[in-house]
Every structure is written in structure tokens, then in C-alpha cells.
Structure 1
Amino acid sequence: MVLTILLILLIIYWIITMIGGLDFDFDFDVEVDMDVDADIDIDSGIEGGSMDFEDISNAEVNQEDVVGKRRKPLKWWQVLLIYFNFVGLPFMFTFTFWIFIWWFITVLTTAITFTYDNFIGFVIMLLAFFPALFINKIVTNPFKGFFKNLNKDGDAPIDYLGRKGTLLSSISEDKMGNAEIKVDGNTMSVYVKSLTGEPLPYGSSILIIKRSSDHNYFLVQTYND
């Protein structure tokens, strides 16, 4: 019953996500910070900073961020997350597959053994936890290449370098602000900092020069048509 209820909730979640019927603004950021005890800090790889309801399903911690930037050895639970594809794929995508596989194994096994309404069936459910993880890894592996080449909306990633935009806030030195960029008729909001540190007032026309090393913002300079 527990797995069935959880699976139903996940199905409802994906239906709501697909139809886009809700639009909540969450400051939900994903970034790995190696200097804190928690080891994983949240920072947003999504331009604009705030995420709507749909973005949570795509929240992803990249393997290169976990492994490449670390100064300390990975903890056992981080190794498990990477190994079982909870890192490198959208978390809710992998989690949903895992719950479905766990549920399916439990339902099938308890139905065959007629243990779905007793203590043995509960034990079977607990034991199915581990084979479900391994099967889930096999099932989700082919999706790694697919998601790697997509952004959160399922389109080809947008190249912001060299694009012009308008500042939505004043920036100077290390002060970060927002800029509005138009891409193929769509308006995007991105985090920006001044390339040289010079003050740039609100409403200035800017040109995106490069992306920060942590991929969280862009460095810009003034641009005159």
C-alpha cells in the first residue's frame, strides 16, 4: 500500500508537470559546495534564478560537479547516488523509475507467493528495495546521453555567448544582477556580472562575453548599437 500510494502521488505529480497547470516560484538552487559539512549545497544552474513547479522534476546534480571539483573523497552515500544514476539525470526522473520498479517487483512477487496480505509480503517489499535499485540503473542508463544534450525544456541548449541584452538591475564590481536576453523571439532572464567591474546602470545595453567558471552567471560589458 505504501508503494502504491507513493506511485499514485508521483503519477499525479507528472501529470501536473506535463500540463503545466501550476506555476510556483521556488528559489531552488542546485550546486555542490565542497567546503561545507553537508557537502551538497543547492544553487541553480538555470538562468534567471527562480524555478517554477516544472523545474523541480529536472533538478540535476552533474557528476562532473560532484567528482571534478571535490577536494575531499566522496562519502559512501554520494558514491551510491552517482552509481545508481540519481546524479547525472534529473532526480525525479530516476526516482520515479525506481519507485515503479520497486512497486512492480513487490506486487508481482507477493501475488505469485500469495503473501500480499501478511508479514512475509512486507519483508518481500523491504528486500525488493535493493534489486529495484540495480534494475533501475540498467533501465535509466540509456537516458544519460539523451538528457545530456537537452536543457530543462527539452530543447537544444541555448548558447548565450555573444548575445545582446538589457540590464534589469544595476551591477558593479562583484555585485550580481539580472539581464533580459531575447533568443528566437523568447525572452530569457540570466544572472550577470560586469566583466571589468565597472558600474553598469539599469537599462544598459550589454553584450555577453563569457560564462563564469561555476556556470552560475555570465560576464558582460556595455554594448552600443
Structure 2
Amino acid sequence: MTEIWNILFNPLPNAIMTLLTGISLVYWLFSMLLGDGFDFGTDADIQFEGADVQDVDIDGDADAQADTDTEQHVEPSFFSKAMDFIYVGKAPMMVLVTLFKFIGWVVTIVSSLVLNLSAYGWKSVWILIPVFILSFFLLHYVAIPFVKLYKNVGYTGEEAYDFIGRVGKMRSSIHSDQLGAIELIINRDVIRLNVKSQDGLQLSYGDDVVITNQDPERKFYIVQKDINLNNI
């Protein structure tokens, strides 16, 4: 038992990842006790700058994204591509975060044993940088069964919310026909959406904007600057 405890919390990277993974475990235990479970209902969790989840085939994501890019004539940001790579919007965010932590935890434990990280003291914490990078790429494959499961049980992502009339903050600067992103919080869920400026007017990073309409093909939303007491 002492040996197992030592592996979990020594060296420092193991302790960090054990703590982070433990936090997720506590979260899911409380979720189970409160009856939320793994959120197999139609409540939204998060949707990020991607195509409608019901129209995307897991094995054809690359083609679907390419078609979307051609239709919109806008190159998605690096961050948007990264989020699509790990299926953000196609499974609840907490499920993906938990998987990421678990993968990182396993990789860190194995690395500490193989590379004898204990000999490096606190400097061993730098191993977490390559661990996080590797975990990100591994998540793409580990998450596939979960994404398919949520798709089969009818997980609808953003569709459970009516975004028209809601206020969010710009997370990019846009004008004319440029495609950008906004962030809004609904029921503690942080949601990012593709948007275009109404009438092509300039919108800057951090601006408060209100969603006024949705593209007929459901690829993005139309927004305009929100005029309130804070920005008059």
C-alpha cells in the first residue's frame, strides 16, 4: 500500500496529476449522487465553432470540415481546429476534460517509472508539458467511443438552447464577412459559437454582442454590438 501511495504522489508530476484526476472523480461522484449522471439527456454542455453534431460522421470529420470551410470561404482558427480535433461540442465538456486528465495521469505515472523522474526533484514537473501534448492527441482516439455513445443516445449539444437574443463577448475581431467567435455562459456552461457581424460592422475582441439571427444553414449566428450602460 505504501508503495502504491508513493507512486501516486512521487515525484511532483505524479502528485499533480493524481490530484487533478481525483478532483474529476469527486465531481462525478457528486454528479451521480445528485442524479445528474453522465448527462445522457438533451441538456447542452458546450458547442464550439463546428458543424451541427447530428450532421457529422465521426469517421468523416475532416471532409465535413473541409466542406464547411469551402462554403464559408473562411479559414477556421487554430484554436477552433484544435477543439474540433478533440470533439468539443460532440460530447459534454466535463467528459472530455476527465478523459484528458485520466490519460495524462496514466502517461505521467508510466513516464515517472520509465524515466526515473524522482531523480530530477521539482524539475521533473517539466515532463507535464510533453505529457499534456501527448494526452491531447491521444484524446482524439480515446474519446471516439464516447462521442459515438452520446450521438446514439441523442446528445444534441447547442440545440437545447435558444441563442437568439442572448448576450455574449467577442473572442475575436471581425468585420465585413469574416467569421469569428463569441463566448457566453448559460447555466454555468461556457459556450462558444461561430458568428458574423450584422451588416458587416466592425466588432472587436471583448465587445458585448447580442445574437440577432442564425444562418439558414445553421453554420453560424448573426450578432451586433450590444448597447448598454457599461459601453455607452
TM-score (norm 1): 0.47
Select the structure that is richer in helix: 2
Larger radius of gyration: 1
TM norm structure 2: 0.45
